[in-house]
Amino acid sequence: MAQAHGMRQVGYIDVAGGGQVIVRNGFAFVGHMRAPNGTTIIDVRDPKNPIVVAELKMPPGTHSHKIRMSGDTMVINQEFNFNDPNPPPAGWIGGAAIYDVSNPHKPHLLSRWETGGQGVHRFDLDARYAYFSSTADGYLAHIVIIVDLKDPTKPTEVGRWWMPGQWTAGGEKPTWEKTAHRCHHPLRRGNRLYTSYWQAGFVILDVEDISKPKKVSGLDWSPPYHCPTHTTLPLPFDIRGRKYMVVADEDVARPPEGTPAFLWMVDITDERNPVPVGSYQVEGLEDGPQPLMTGCHQPCEIVTGTEIPTAWFAQGLRVIDVSNPHSLKEVAYFIPDVPAGATRPSSNDVTIDERGLLYLTDRIRGLTIIERL
């Protein structure tokens, strides 16, 4: 049975496991973890009775689990899914797909942007540019690639940034093992790109000149912490005259006895010297070894105040009050029912709509619509 404090379930729809959810104008767009499910568009204007209105499919061995919207333009990632044992089609190339969704019932493909290697993982989108975490020929793992979508039928790369050591075709040599240092999730705010870089922590990039991103600073806490950095979310307001960023690590890539991933508060008032000043972990997770995907994953990227809803894998949805950056506290939670075929929840992403309703995806199955009391 679902458990809740300060929240209640409004609606639910049984769809395939979701990697990301975006809600615009009464429609939810869900990117799925595994083929053949690609993207599902759901009418949520009546949140008690959500209805699927369109579905996009993906071939075996691939997936399209991330999604962004700008006006009537929808961009979805398309990448090889190495967790899928089924072989992908011969000649299939990863990248991203751009759709016109002015009619959500009939998404219309405008173009694809193709890249070398695995494809696009996470990304951000504004009215003109997409900021991809993407593989590229000649580079080790994912780098930042900026694509101009002024004409969405002709996406064009205009800039890129990589961590020194990734450009192997240029003779650079990594100082880390395998693909531990790689771009995971760029987020544009103003003329900065706040970019998680997996087990290299995060970097802040200056994108005033979109063609030549420049590093402002960075911070890496892995080691001593095992879990990779997943999302760096700057707050759009000051707290007591100072600027802060919420940073979520992802509860993967650690030994069972390692500390489960948690949420950080980082002071970026002096952006050239980011300083961790606070953190939060769900009570009890420090009591002995925990399986992977027990701790933190992803905060809601639409910030409406000092309460930050966060998808916390097996711990469901946790609402964290960051009004005191040095002492974060939980003020509400919602732990959904265990999906069919699973042994526990796996809350993967959360967003909020114009009505203040929260949408929580489970990476195994289901989309739950929740109201904050």
The mean pLDDT value for 256-261 works out to 91
The domain spans of the chain are: 3-372
Tell me: pLDDT of 256 over 90: no
CA–CA gap between residue 370 and residue 47 (Å, rounded): 9
| pLDDT bucket at 286, cuts 50 / 70 / 90 | confident
**Whether pTM exceeds 0.85:** yes
CB atoms within 10 A of CB 360: 27
pLDDT at residue 61 is higher than 80: yes
Residue 300's H or E segment, with its range, is none
CATH 2.40.160.10, applies to 3-372: no
Q: How many helices (H) and strands (E) does the chain have?
A: 0, 30
Instruction: Give the SS3 label for residue 169.
Output: helix
Q: Is the pLDDT of residue 76 over 80?
A: yes
| Residues sharing a CB contact under 8 Å with residue 31, sequence separation 6 or more, in sequence order | 18, 19, 20, 21, 38, 39, 64, 65, 66, 67, 76, 77
Confidence of residue 324 (pLDDT cuts 50, 70, 90): very high
Please write the tens of the pLDDT for every residue from 224-241. 999 999 999 999 999 999
Residue 201's Cβ-count burial label (10 Å; 0-12, 13-18, 19+) is buried
Q: Using the predicted structure, report yes or no on whether residue 287 has a pLDDT greater than 80.
A: no
Is it the case that residue 294 has pLDDT exceeding 90? yes
3 state SS of 203: strand
pLDDT at position 1: 74
pLDDT at 12: 98
- Whole-number Cα distances in Å, 333 to 8, 329, 359: 9, 11, 13
Q: What is the mean pLDDT of residues 266-292?
A: 94
Whether 117 and 183 have beta carbons less than 8 Å apart is answered as no
- Amino acid at position 72, single letter: D
pLDDT by residue (tens digit) across 345-356?
999 999 999 999
Picking from 32, 22, 20, 11, the residue whose alpha carbon sits closest to that of residue 101 is 22
